[in-house]
Amino acid sequence: MNAIRIRIIASSLAASAALLATPAAHAGKTVDAIKARGQLVCGVNTGLAGFSAADSQGKWSGLDVDVCRAIAAAMLGDPEKVKWVPLNATQRFTALQSGEVDILSRNTTWTLTRDASLGLNFTATTYYDGQGFMVPTKLNVKSAKQLKGATVCVQSGTTTEKNLTDYSRANKLDIKPVVFEKVEAATGAYFAGRCSAYTTDASGLASVRNKEAQNPKDHVILPELISKEPLAPVVRRGDDEFFGIAKWVIYGLIEAEEYGITQANVAQLARTSTDPVVMRILGTSEDTGKLLGLDKEWMARAIKAVGNYGEIFERNVGPNTALGLPRGTNAQWNEGGLMYAPPVR
């Protein structure tokens, strides 16, 4: 074998070894900024019960809020190291694009236009929703198809407004949208009787009815869903490291439910479990954290902080809460739902 051929083989082997290597992730500018300030800046809804809302003491709670708490726990070791920035629908994307917030966890629908044209990345779906209608019970409306010529309150700058127009045109209903910039104005107008109906995501309808109606039984949510609304947290493009952390924390919370890891048993399982999947998630066998620029207990901290996805759902929006939402499409994939996480491995 001549010297040239030996050098070629050696080069090929070196290249193959490089491809097989799994070096630790290098922190991007967003990760560096979060660690430097010791705080995750999270853009949330101005007030949507069950998803993101502050109480009279200024304490935030909700499904979207818990996502940010889990990310803070994974990155910074403390779920309370979060600054909450309330944003309306018009403000939300600009606030993320400009760097005012690190992540938008604000009941935001994942669409092609938003994904492709705003310079943003959607992480992972945290709630599968669909747009619906709420009407006063006294109108005796049973179907959205009965809203011919009706006035419907809706918030501007949302997929909701566009879906309403599409639905009206497709079904020849001649619906008359009454558009408001702020959700509080739209719901206020509906409850004041200025509109025959109010439309938004079905989860939002349940939240608004529970929070704002003088008597929730005086309002009915119609059975039709007129759209697909996969809600997902959003980050800026150009920082793959933070994108990776955000989406894999969410996937980890979903997979933790699938394998029975809960807020109550996570510490015990970290000590005693011999299940290979559980051990990987909790960092007691493989160190998956180094691939994300985190330590090996990143996911264990997130679960300890907020519980698994099922616990987050049940605590904030589930059947035993004021919203009373069923798991439905948000159940695990092996229980008839759409929650299917890529494996943490």
Question: pLDDT tens across 239-291, in order?
Answer: 999 999 999 999 999 999 999 999 999 999 999 999 999 999 999 999 999 99
Long-range contacts of 18-26 (CB under 8 A, 24+ apart): 22/291, 24/290, 24/291, 24/293, 25/241, 25/244, 25/290, 25/291, 25/292, 25/293, 26/241, 26/293
What pLDDT shows up at residue 301?
98
> What is the C-alpha separation between 304 and 99, in angstroms, rounded?
29
Going from N- to C-terminal start, the domains of the chain cover 29-128+231-324, 131-227
pLDDT tens for each residue of 96-144: 999 999 999 999 999 999 999 999 999 999 999 999 999 999 999 999 9
What pLDDT shows up at residue 20?
40
Buried b (16+ CB within 10 A) or exposed e, 202-223: bbbbbbbbebebeebeebbebe
pLDDT tens for each residue of 287-301: 999 999 999 999 999
> What is the C-alpha separation between 78 and 73, in angstroms, rounded?
4
CATH T-level assignment (fold) for domain 29-128+231-324: D-Maltodextrin-Binding Protein; domain 2 (3.40.190)
Q: What percent of the chain clears pLDDT 70, i.e. is strictly above it?
A: 92
Domains 29-128+231-324 and 131-227 share a fold: yes
Closest CA to 60 of 34, 35, 86: 86
Question: Over the Cα atoms of the chain, what is R_g?
Answer: 23
In this structure, what token pair is assigned to residue 126? 């945290």
> Given 3.30.720.200, 3.40.30.20, 3.40.190.10, 3.40.50.2300, which CATH number is that of 131-227?
3.40.190.10
Closest CA to 318 of 257, 261, 247: 257
Closest CA to 197 of 127, 126, 149, 159: 149
Q: What percent of the chain clears pLDDT 90, i.e. is strictly above it?
A: 89
Whether pLDDT at 42 is above 70:
yes
